[in-house]
Structure 1
């Protein structure tokens, strides 16, 4: 992914200014119109040419951020898969886990790269999950739901049906998306621990997938294969 270009138009300058001001300890609702316009180097009246209020600005930030992340993940899905990572034709659960581990590492890396490139917007967005604006809280929940739906499609596309209970996949995806949101925040706020956080995120997803498979795989192979499969985790 390429780094976002410097803002040029009034809309982008206002968004960038609001994110810079809110990225430390504040929420968008705590900002003042004149404060944001001054930080952006614009006349305060410019704000209303682009946004009706700070919820409107926040919705624009969320749309830009979520759209970019979903696009990046879709592009990864559409790339021809490395043969070593393909799950097509795999019949052994341990081999499937080994290959799934590679897919998980790539996907986690993509998410962490994206949030690093959009650090201010991401931090503000996560803070708004518990902020004072019901509009932004509701929109962020929708984004989580959309990302989870995308992940459900990913899992059902690549994991052979004999290995996972398809009814369990939406729940797994919802948990992964929510936990990745906070792994990503830790990744940004603890640069000295980034390798460990990346590994923890990968292991968490792999363990969830293996748990779903352990329920589905016949009892005759579940326990010995489980012990063997756990050995592939970092």
Structure 2
């Protein structure tokens, strides 16, 4: 796992940490949603008594929410750091993409589960994941504005672009996990796509009449 995710897990009680890691392993291996896992199977995988679960989580939805929020917070904080340190828009884009793909490779179970549930319309976790996408996109807009990294004036347009890019980055986890050796080409394709989307938004905005 990434250093930041490992730090967050290390701060958890041991039983809670074991349950989170075991839940992601089972969900990735068996294709089971996090909030549909069997408690006894989860406890066996975590090498804990099944009654331990309720010392750390209210229910399986609470486990799913805690796990998803842990990854989301890692993404938001590291993106903020990268964009703060970036000297140019190009530096920020390349830094964010490379960080994200490394995070995927270091947390394969988490992203295999997350992307699967995000793209399953009937998944009970999908609304939770869409909220995470929105949160990451909103934080991205704030970071971009603070660093004056993109000259898109309309916040609603910038948010829409940031949301589309965030979904695209999550979906890039699928080909990356299938072929980690292709990380460089996947990263370059993402960087190029992100630049085109921002440039397209800027060009479109310049053609529209100013708002009254």
TM bucket (normalised to shorter chain) is: 0.7 to 0.9
From 9, 14, 20, the equivalent of 1:9 is 14
| Corresponding position: 1:193 with 2:147 | no
- In structure 2, runs of 5+ residues without a counterpart are none
- Checking the alignment, whether the CA contact within 8 Å between 1:29 and 1:133 is kept in structure 2 is no
* Paired residue secondary structure (2:23): helix
From 33, 39, 63, the equivalent of 1:33 is 39
**CA–CA separation in structure 2 for the residues paired with 1:216 and 1:59:** 37
Tell me how far 1:18 sits from its aligned partner: 1.2
**CA–CA separation in structure 1 for the residues paired with 2:57 and 2:205:** 50
Please give the per-residue CA displacement for 1:135-175, whole angstroms capped at 9, x wherever unaligned.
x22221111111111121233334478x4342421111111
Tell me how far 1:78 sits from its aligned partner: 3.2
- Checking the alignment, whether the CA contact within 8 Å between 2:24 and 2:113 is kept in structure 1 is yes
| Corresponding position: 1:164 with 2:159 | no
Tell me how far 1:126 sits from its aligned partner: 2.0
- Checking the alignment, whether the CA contact within 8 Å between 2:76 and 2:136 is kept in structure 1 is yes
- Checking the alignment, whether the CA contact within 8 Å between 1:65 and 1:122 is kept in structure 2 is no
Aligned length: 200
Alignment of 1:1-234 (within 5 A): 2=3, 4=6, 9-27=14-32, 28-79=34-85, 81-82=86-87, 85=88, 100-129=89-118, 130=120, 133-134=123-124, 136-159=125-148, 163-166=151-154, 167-217=156-206
Change in 2 beyond 3 A, CA 1:37/1:132: farther
- Checking the alignment, whether the CA contact within 8 Å between 2:83 and 2:92 is kept in structure 1 is no
RMSD: 2.5
TM-score for both structures, normalised by structure 1: 0.75
- Checking the alignment, whether the CA contact within 8 Å between 1:165 and 1:212 is kept in structure 2 is no
- In structure 1, runs of 5+ residues without a counterpart are 86-99, 220-234
- Checking the alignment, whether the CA contact within 8 Å between 2:117 and 2:123 is kept in structure 1 is yes
TM-score for both structures, normalised by structure 2: 0.83
Change in 2 beyond 3 A, CA 1:207/1:33: same
**CA–CA separation in structure 2 for the residues paired with 1:184 and 1:126:** 7
